[in-house]
Amino acid sequence: MSRRKKTISIGTFDLLKGLGMTGIVAGHICRKYSVDFLPFQIYLMMFGPGLIPMFFLLSGLGGKKREIKDAWKKNAKELLFPYFLTTAVVAAVFPLCHYMAFRWWPGAMTETLRTVSAFLTGCPRGGNTVFGFRIYECTPLWYLLALFWAANLTNIFLKIPSAGWRNAVICLCVLSGYLGSSVNFWYGCIPQGLMAVGFYYAGYLIKKNKLLEKNWSSWIYVVLGIVSAVELIFGEMQYSYGIFKLGLLDYVGCGCIGILLLRLGIWLNRFNGTISEWIRRLGRYTYWAICVHGVEQNCIPWYLLSDSMSSYPNVGFLTELFLRGILIVSGCLIIRRWSVFAHRKKWNQYRR
């Protein structure tokens, strides 16, 4: 274990993002198992509610004020392009996986259409119908769509010269997203994106005012701790499903947990070693990891494994987490190699 530089940058949180991505994957898996693995239960209870706000806060930390046209182009390239590319991969891989599992092409094509329709419409929750046709959900890639709206809208709001009016508009934006999330079906994850504006803007202000580089007073930790404790004990927020047990208090409480996780990430950055470096790599390529996770989660019928391991939930959970982890890391490494190859080819053509 060694201390790293105290300078705060977006790379400081790679280890935290890697752990958060692992927690998201584990959270998706544990829904199918009655897991009584105590360390994971403690982790999920303490940090689970703040993971999504934490990722939006971190995106805001890396955000910059740009021209509106430039911001839309940049965000479309970094968020929409991988989203629709992943959709195309799902459309190609999904029928093959289900045919190999069940040997029935009509059923495989129907399930593919339900899944791909959810991606094309940007539906973050299942059970909806489009023209009488039931579709599934675009988990976990709804995050990319929500972040696309949050980044672009925040960049527009930063053009407002008055800080007071800007804060009022952002609060109204969050309120509109909260009210809109109660509607069962929206195209493009718009309510989730409107609510994410608050977290993204908060991350931007934290970076602008260098709040993470300053020593916080004890009363700040007390206030954040109390609000977080109330959320953990009494609240429940399922962001993509629009479930808020305490209303907007859940939004504030989970945001406080996310801010505390940022402070935790600074402390975690001191750790160094083989395992931590691999986790950092996963955190460094979060967008890629989300895309690969979206492919394997939607295409591979993991429920066959959970059904066969129903008598051994802890073993089944850890086995599936291990297998998915290998797939996600391998997918990120493949994308990385392809990205380096494409960059070198483009650079060689430029030099000629």
99-120 tens-digit pLDDT: 999 999 999 999 999 999 999 9
Q: List the chain domain ranges.
A: 10-348
Burial label, 202 (beta-carbon count in 10 A; 0-12, 13-18, 19+): buried
pLDDT at 347: 59
Residue where the block lists tokens 């066959």: 304
The model's confidence at residue 4, banded by pLDDT at 50, 70 and 90, is very low
Q: Is residue 272 over pLDDT 90?
A: no
> How do residues 30-47 score in pLDDT, each as one tens digit?
878 876 665 666 667 667
The model's confidence at residue 3, banded by pLDDT at 50, 70 and 90, is very low
Q: Is residue 350 over pLDDT 60?
A: no
> How do residues 85-99 score in pLDDT, each as one tens digit?
999 999 999 999 999
> How do residues 135-158 score in pLDDT, each as one tens digit?
899 889 999 999 999 999 999 999
What's the CA gap between 266 and 225, in Å, rounded?
17
122 and 189 in contact (C-beta within 8 Å)?
Answer: yes
Q: At what angle do helices 14-30 and 286-299 cross, to 10 degrees?
A: 10
Between residues 281 and 173, the one the model is more confident about: 173
What is the pTM for the complete model shown?
A: 0.91
Q: Is residue 326 over pLDDT 60?
A: yes
What's the CA gap between 318 and 323, in Å, rounded?
9
pLDDT at 170: 97
The model's confidence at residue 349, banded by pLDDT at 50, 70 and 90, is low
- Mean pLDDT of the chain, nearest integer: 88
pLDDT at 127: 73
What lies within 8 Å, CB to CB, of 84 at 6+ separation is none
258: nearest Cα among 95, 39, 40, 58: 58
Range 69-87 average pLDDT = 95
pLDDT at 164: 94
pLDDT at 18: 92
What six digits make up the tokens of 103? 């040997």
